[in-house]
Amino acid sequence: MTVSAHIPFLFLSLAGSARALSATKVPRPSRPINPDGWPEKFPAKDHCSRCGLCETSYVSNVLDACAFINGGMKRNIDGLEETVHGRTRCIDNSINGDDSIAEERRFGVMSRPMMLGRGKVAGAQWTGAVSSIAVSMLESKKVDAVVCIATGSDGGWSNPEPILARTVDDVLRGRGVKPALAPSLRILDELKSDESIKKLLYCGVGCSVQAFRAIEDELGLDKVYVLGTACADNSPTPKAARDFLKKGIPSIGDSNVLAYEFMQDFRVHVKVGDEKSPSYKKLPYFSLEPSVAEFAIADSCLACFDYTNALADVVVGYMGAPLVDDMDRNMQTITVRNNRGEEMIRCAIDAERLELGGTARGEGTHEKFAMSTVANDNLVNKMTGGDVKEKGMPPFVGNIIASIATKLGPKGVAFARYSIDYHILRNYLHCLREFGRDRADTMIPEYTRVIIKEYEESDQAFRDLIDKIEVS
C-alpha cells in the first residue's frame, strides 16, 4: 500500500527548465481549484506536487500549508517537528557514536533506532508493511477510517486515486506503489462532512503529510495517526510513469506491469506478470535513455527536501534495508517517531500482520559516492552547461558498472544516506537555478542546510557546480 515512493533517476537528463514561481506575493485562493487547471492555475505553479489540498475548501490554508510556497518546506519541517513529535530532530550526525545505524540528522526524529520489518499481505508491491499496519489499525477499531491512495478505477497500476477507506477491502485497494503525484488530500471535504469519523489514519508522502499536519486541527478529529512512506522522484502524471517504462525500458514490451522500483543494486526492477507468481525484469540505471527524465520527474520533486517524511508518526521505506531478495520478499525499513507510532507498530505486531527484524544497519562511506553521482548526473549537467549524455550505456556494460557499484559502494543505512544526500545536493542546485541563493536558502530545512554546508566546505567540485549556476 506504499504510495508513490521510488528512488533517484541517477545520471538522467531533464530537458528544459522548470518555471520559477512568481516573485510577487501569492494571492490566497478562496475556493477550490478545478484540477483540470493543474499546474498553471495552482499557487505553486510548475512546482505544485498536487497533494490535493487546493482542490478542497481548505485551499484558503494553502499559504500556510503548502510545502512549495512561502518557504513551506522549511516552515513545515522546522516549525512542526516539535509540535508533532514533542521535540525536534538531533542535528548531531551520530547516535551514541554508532555510524552503522540511522541518525536523526537525515532520517528525522526517532523514538527507537530504525528497524527492519516486513508485512504479511499478499499482492503487495513489497511485503505489505504499510497495508499491514493500516488494516490492523482499522480492524482493531483504533481508527474509523484510513486515507490512502488506491489503484484507479481503470485498474491501471500507475493511476492514483485517493479514497477514504472504511473497510479492509478498501484499504487493500491501496496495495502497491503508484509512481505519480497523488492528490491524497482531495478527500478532506468528504472527511470533514462525515460525523462518524472521529479517529483517522492518514497515509501519505512527505509533501502531503506536511500540508495535512498544517490543517489537522481544523478537522475536528479526536485522534489522528499518520503513516508515511519515504519518497523521491515521482512522475508528474500516470501517463508519464507509463511512458518512462515504455521508452526507458523497451524490453518489457507488452508485459503486464505490476510495479517498478529503483533498487539498491543500481537497477530498475520491474515486476511483471501475474500477482500470484510475478517475475522481474531488471535494467541498470546507467543503461536508461537519459531523455526519459524530460517527462518522468515532477518539478516539485526537484524542490523537495523531505525524502524521509519528517512529520509522519511511522515511516516505511526500503533504502536502508539490505537487498537480499526480490522486493515482495525483502525486508523494508520502519522508522518510529513517537508514541503514536509505537502504538501503530504494536497494533500490527499483535495482529500478527507485521514482523520486525533487527536494527537497520549499514557500512561504508557515502559522501564521495553521492558527490560523484551529482557531478555525473545529466540533470545537473543540464543546469551547469556540462556534458549531457545522449544515450545510456549498453546493458552489458551497465550491468558491470552496477555490480561494481553495488560491491564497492555504501550498503544498508549508508546507502540510504548516499541516496538522501544525492537528492539534497541535486535539488539544492535546482532551487539555486530556479530561485537564486537568497530564496533557495529560505526554502531548505535546517538539517538540509547543515548537510549542504558540509559539502560546500569539503568538496571543491560541489562549490564549482554552485558557481556555474550562480554566474549563468
- Concatenate the DSSP letters of all residues of 274-332 into one string: ETTEEEEEEEEGGGS-GGGHHHHS-GGGGG---TT-TT-SEEEESTTS---S-TTTS-E
- Cβ-based burial of 93 (10 A; exposed 0-12, middle 13-18, buried ≥19): middle
Phi first, then psi, for residue 172 (nearest 5°) are: -70, -15
Q: What is the CA radius of gyration of the chain?
A: 21
Could you tell me if 192 and 215 are in contact, meaning their C-beta atoms sit under 8 angstroms apart?
Answer: no
Pairing label, strands 199-204, 223-229:
parallel
| pLDDT < 70 positions in the chain | 1-29, 94-96, 153-156
Cα–Cα distances in angstroms (integers) from residue 210 to residues 25, 53, 150, 204, 312, in the given order: 21, 11, 20, 9, 9
Q: Say which residues have a Cβ less than 8 Å from residue 193's Cβ, sequence separation at least 6.
A: none
pLDDT at residue 292, rounded to an integer: 83
- Distance CA(8)–CA(293), nearest Å, equals 11
Could you tell me if 228 and 164 are in contact, meaning their C-beta atoms sit under 8 angstroms apart?
Answer: no
pLDDT at residue 294, rounded to an integer: 77
Phi first, then psi, for residue 105 (nearest 5°) are: -50, -50
Could you tell me if 47 and 300 are in contact, meaning their C-beta atoms sit under 8 angstroms apart?
Answer: yes
Could you tell me if 10 and 285 are in contact, meaning their C-beta atoms sit under 8 angstroms apart?
Answer: yes
Nine cell digits for residue 13: 537528463
- Asked whether the CA dihedral 226, 136, 338, 111 is positive or negative, the reply is negative
Which parts of 166-313 are beta strand (E)? 199-204, 223-229, 257-262, 267-274, 277-284
| Of 396, 233, 408, 401, residue with least CA distance to 306 | 233
Could you tell me if 240 and 293 are in contact, meaning their C-beta atoms sit under 8 angstroms apart?
Answer: no
**Three-class SS state of 117:** strand
Pairing label, strands 257-262, 115-119:
unpaired
Q: Say which residues have a Cβ less than 8 Å from residue 357's Cβ, sequence separation at least 6.
A: 115, 116, 117, 118, 331
pLDDT at residue 453, rounded to an integer: 97
Could you tell me if 468 and 385 are in contact, meaning their C-beta atoms sit under 8 angstroms apart?
Answer: yes
pLDDT at residue 2, rounded to an integer: 40
Q: Say which residues have a Cβ less than 8 Å from residue 408's Cβ, sequence separation at least 6.
A: none
Distance in angstroms between the alpha carbons of the first and the last residue of the chain: 43
DSSP 8-state secondary structure symbol assigned to residue 224: E
Q: What is the pTM of this model?
A: 0.92
- Distance CA(64)–CA(66), nearest Å, equals 6
Nine cell digits for residue 137: 489499525
pLDDT at residue 27, rounded to an integer: 62
Which parts of 347-464 are beta strand (E)? 354-359, 362-363, 411-412
Please state the length of the chain: 472
Q: Say which residues have a Cβ less than 8 Å from residue 467's Cβ, sequence separation at least 6.
A: none
pLDDT at residue 122, rounded to an integer: 86
